[in-house]
């Protein structure tokens, strides 16, 4: 290669390099002009209608919210239905994020703002990715440190504690340019239980309740003739009197039940104590039958499965001396009610096959052994009877108190 050719080659390199640098600077200026403008959107080009997969990662935790056959599901919970309104709310929130300020920050400073890529290390960010149905990434965000402001005490700026006012974020489409937004984005968490749909069954107008324990001597059943009638103990033995207050509260937890988490359908029953469950059967005046299989208590919760059946009448039995106007009105009301009950049945039957984790208050009042559902009598229980003065029980109690160190 002669000198003339070398000179031309070097000139070409300089021109191309200058053009590339000029384009790079133009991209920076363009982004900064839009991002630093008050109220500018951080992700202005996010096509919200094309988002079919949201992936959230932090440290070693991950959750995948995927739209399948028109229904959002939680991958880490065996494709259990997700909370659609919650997901759509957060997608729209991400698309509408407004920039408060922006600053170019080098990789050496990312850790200071907790914006390092997700992993097992410290100072890592939460990664939120929005993908389409083909798995193509549409946009992504790294969520870093929360921005806080000191709490004013006594009218001064100096105080104890602080409160969150925003968060440092970095778009995957503009790495190195850290933006501050006025939302803490605390809802973007890789916790599957946070994203599942919490729609559950609801027992309305119970007529009969039966609880069958593994130890049959603890089992019991109660029923009532009408909604306003008192509960009665089924097959009451001589001397047994039902505690009506406990009978009334027995189904209270099923009137508005909720659950904490859900396990995949292929979870072995013995893994959560459902190989020998307590069986709760509830029949209602609307001809619904709920069958719950409940595990022994684990910490502050239970595991249960639910099966729902209903024998809904198709026709209404007319009353005596009904006028044509009354018949038309009552037939219409009956039809509307049966339609709602049919929809309720269809919705609640979707819950079958899954294992739900519920809090203790949901079923505790149902899982009392037979003796605790009865009014205490002079013969039961013995511990409720007063002890004679100077008895062994009183002495033991005194010893117990002296064994407790005095609180300072």
The percentage of residues in the chain with a pLDDT greater than 90, rounded to a whole number, is 65
More confident residue, 345 or 382: 345
Q: Answer for the pair 142, 169: CB distance below 8 angstroms, yes or no.
A: yes
The per-residue pLDDT for range 157-201, each reduced to its tens digit, is 444 567 888 999 999 887 788 999 999 999 999 999 999 999 999
CA–CA separation, 96 vs 42, rounded Å? 7
Would you state the pLDDT for residue 7? 61
Q: Is the pLDDT of residue 366 over 50?
A: yes
The pLDDT assigned to 159 comes to 43
**Residue 126, SS3?**
strand
d(CA 326, CA 318): 10
Task: Tell me what pLDDT residue 153 has.
Answer: 55
Q: Give 36's pLDDT tier (boundaries 50, 70, 90).
A: very low
Q: State yes or no: pLDDT of 386 exceeds 50.
A: no
The average pLDDT across 129-148 equals 95
| pLDDT score, position 13 | 52
- Residue 148, pLDDT > 90, answer no
| Maximum mean pLDDT: which of 96-110, 276-290, 327-341 | 276-290
Buried/exposed code over 254-280 (b: 16+ C-beta within 10 A; e: otherwise): beebebebbbeeeeeeeebbbeebbeb
The pLDDT mean for the chain works out to: 85
Section 64-79 average pLDDT: 96
Are 375 and 243 in contact, with CB atoms under 8 Å apart?
Answer: yes
Alpha-carbon span 268 to 274, nearest angstrom: 8
pLDDT of res. 183: 92
Of the listed ranges 216-220, 313-317, 381-385, 402-406, the one predicted with least confidence: 402-406
205-254, pLDDT tens digit by residue? Answer: 999 999 999 999 999 999 999 999 999 999 999 999 999 999 999 988 89
pLDDT at 315: 87
User: What is the structure's pLDDT at 138?
Assistant: 96
What are the residues facing 61 on neighbouring strands?
58
Q: Which residue has the higher pLDDT, 303 or 172?
A: 303
- Band the pLDDT of 71: cuts 50, 70, 90: very high
Which of 9 and 104 is assigned the larger pLDDT? 104
Burial label for 247, CB within 10 Å (0-12, 13-18, 19+), is buried
Stretch 332-344: mean pLDDT: 95
Q: Does residue 121 register a pLDDT over 90?
A: no
Q: Residue 383: how many CB atoms within 10 A of its CB? A: 8
How confident is the model over 4-21, as a mean pLDDT? 55
The pLDDT score that the predictor gives to residue 202 is 97
- Is the pLDDT at 396 greater than 70, yes or no? no
What would the mean pLDDT of 391-396 be, rounded to a whole number?
Answer: 43
Yes or no: say if 310 and 205 are a contact pair by the CB < 8 Å rule. no
More confident residue, 55 or 173: 55
Predicted local confidence at residue 3, as pLDDT:
61
pLDDT above 70 for 327 = yes
Q: Is 195 exposed, middle or buried (0-12, 13-18, 19+ CB in 10 A)?
A: buried
How many residues appear in the chain?
A: 408
Is the previous residue joined to 381 through a cis bond, with omega within 30 degrees of 0?
A: yes
Tell whether the model's pLDDT for residue 23 goes beyond 50: no
Percent of the chain with pLDDT over 70: 81
Between CA 321 and CA 379 the distance in angstroms is 54
Confidence check: pLDDT of 288 > 90: yes
**pLDDT at position 408 over 60:** no
- Provide the pLDDT for residue 383: 42
């Amino acid at each position: 290669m002669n000198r003339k050719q070398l000179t031309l080659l070097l000139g070409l390199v300089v021109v191309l390099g200058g053009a590339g640098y000029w384009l790079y600077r133009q991209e920076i200026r363009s982004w900064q002009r839009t991002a630093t403008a008050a109220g500018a959107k951080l992700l202005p080009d996010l096509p919200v209608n094309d988002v079919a997969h949201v992936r959230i990662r932090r440290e070693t935790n991950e959750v995948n919210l995927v739209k399948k056959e028109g229904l959002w599901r939680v991958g880490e919970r065996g494709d259990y239905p997700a909370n659609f309104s919650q997901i759509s709310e957060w997608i729209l929130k991400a698309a509408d994020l407004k920039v408060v300020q922006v600053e170019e920050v080098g990789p050496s400073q990312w850790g200071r703002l907790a914006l390092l890529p997700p992993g097992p290390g410290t100072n890592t960010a939460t990664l939120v990715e929005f993908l389409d149905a083909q798995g193509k990434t549409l946009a992504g965000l790294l969520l870093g440190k929360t921005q806080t402001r000191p709490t004013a005490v006594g009218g001064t700026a100096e105080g104890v504690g602080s409160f969150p006012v925003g968060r440092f974020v970095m778009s995957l489409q503009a790495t190195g340019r850290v933006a501050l937004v006025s939302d803490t984005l605390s809802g973007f968490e890789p916790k599957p239980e946070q994203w599942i749909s919490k729609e559950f069954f609801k027992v309305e107008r119970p007529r009969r309740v039966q609880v069958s324990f593994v130890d049959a001597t603890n089992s019991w059943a109660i029923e009532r003739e009408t909604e306003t009638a008192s509960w009665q103990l089924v097959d009451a033995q001589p001397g047994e009197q039902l505690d009506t207050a406990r009978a009334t509260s027995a189904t209270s937890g099923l009137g508005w039940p909720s659950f904490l988490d859900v396990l995949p359908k292929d979870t072995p029953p013995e893994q959560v104590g459902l190989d020998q469950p307590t069986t709760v059967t509830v029949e209602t005046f609307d001809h619904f039958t709920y069958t719950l299989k409940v595990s022994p208590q684990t910490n502050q919760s239970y595991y249960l499965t639910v099966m729902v059946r209903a024998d809904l009448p198709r026709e209404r039995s007319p009353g005596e001396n009904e006028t044509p106007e009354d018949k038309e009105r009552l037939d219409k009301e009956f039809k509307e009610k049966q339609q709602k009950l049919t929809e309720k049945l269809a919705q609640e039957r979707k819950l079958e096959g899954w294992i739900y984790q519920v809090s203790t208050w949901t079923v505790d009042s149902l899982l009392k052994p037979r003796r605790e559902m009865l009014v205490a009598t002079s013969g039961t229980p013995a511990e409720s009877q007063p002890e004679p003065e100077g008895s062994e029980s009183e002495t033991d109690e005194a010893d117990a108190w002296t064994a407790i160190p005095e609180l300072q």
